[in-house]
Amino acid sequence: MRGTVGVMRRALPTVALMVALAGCAAAPPGPSVIVPGAPGEPARVVDGAEAAQRRSPVPVSPADVEFAARMVPHHRQALELAALAPDRAADPGVRAVAERIAAVQGPEIAVLESWLARHGGAHLPHADHAAMPGMATPAQRDELAAADGPGFDALFVALMIAHHEGALEMAAQVRSSGTDLTIAEFADGVVATQSADIDRLRGLLR
């Protein structure tokens, strides 16, 4: 009897360890999370295992770096166009949209530049501005700078709608081919804010 008790006592730590390990193996990997869909697609719920896999480091793709490198000058042109509005716009709505663009896209440039510095894209050759969707030509920028009053308002609205639509196109491209979650979230933000701006700008044409 004493021998049996001794064996049982020696076995208890091993049994306890096996139970603990079994409990760990059976523990769920984490709570379910909501993952935003690509532009035009609904969000979906993924289980803990898939969410953990999505959080695993994924190599940054060339599409992510290209998007960030191109979006910086794209945003800068939007800021240049918006900076003309306070002294030239007649419609308070145009000035309000210009202020919103400055408030949103200025900080976004800082985010993109910081991301590029971390991922080796800070020294990429300057993007071809003319090749980017929605970019105003030098002649169009000069025409806007020379305009005033209602003429400025109409031209600003037309140029900025085209500019924002170009940004939406770039965001859709990186969402379909990029891999970096930060860039994906940034692109989703571009879609949300600039789609809202387009709606406001179109409302000014009525």
pLDDT tens digit string along 48-105? 666 555 555 567 899 999 999 999 999 999 999 999 999 999 999 999 999 999 999 9
CB 130 within 8 A of CB 138: no
pTM, to two decimals: 0.71
Question: DSSP strand E in the chain: where?
Answer: 33-35, 44-46
Average pLDDT, the chain: 82
**132 has pLDDT over 60:** yes
Q: What is the pLDDT of residue 116?
A: 94
CB 69 within 8 A of CB 201: no
Span 178-206, mean pLDDT? Answer: 95
Helical packing angle, 92-118 and 149-177, nearest 10°: 30
Angle in degrees, CA 52, 121, 131, rounded to 5: 110
Hey, what domains does the chain have and what are their CATH numbers? 52-204 (1.20.1260.10)
> pLDDT confidence of 131, banded at 50, 70, 90?
confident
Q: How far apart are CA 201 and CA 158, in angstroms?
A: 8
Higher pLDDT, 18 or 49: 49
**204 has pLDDT over 60:** yes
If we measure between CA atoms, which residue out of 103, 66, 61 comes closest to residue 83?
103
CB 205 within 8 A of CB 88: no
**2 has pLDDT over 50:** no
